[in-house]
Amino acid sequence: MEKTQKQAYEPPEALKSILSQVLAGRRFRLECGHHITFLGGNLANDLTIRNGSAEDLKVICAQCGY
């Protein structure tokens, strides 16, 4: 990856900030059947996002992701 390509990416802190602001206090049922709660910057449990097209994204817990 070239230097200009690397500069196009935001740091991990930006993603953490988005997750903290948008999802804080919200609760979701995952596709594996388990649940997750976003407690500010901390997750109640780990989350795995299986990449695919936008329609094929799978959001499951890390335990079911192994």
Give the tens place of pLDDT for each residue, 4-36: 888 899 999 998 888 888 888 888 999 999 988
High-pLDDT (> 70) share of the chain, %: 88
- Domain containing 60 equals 3-65
Confidence of residue 43 (pLDDT cuts 50, 70, 90): low
Number of domains in the chain: 1
Instruction: Pick 45 or 44 by higher pLDDT.
Output: 45
Strand (E) or helix (H) holding 22: helix 12-23
Predicted local confidence at residue 65, as pLDDT: 76
Contact 66, 59 (CB under 8 A): no
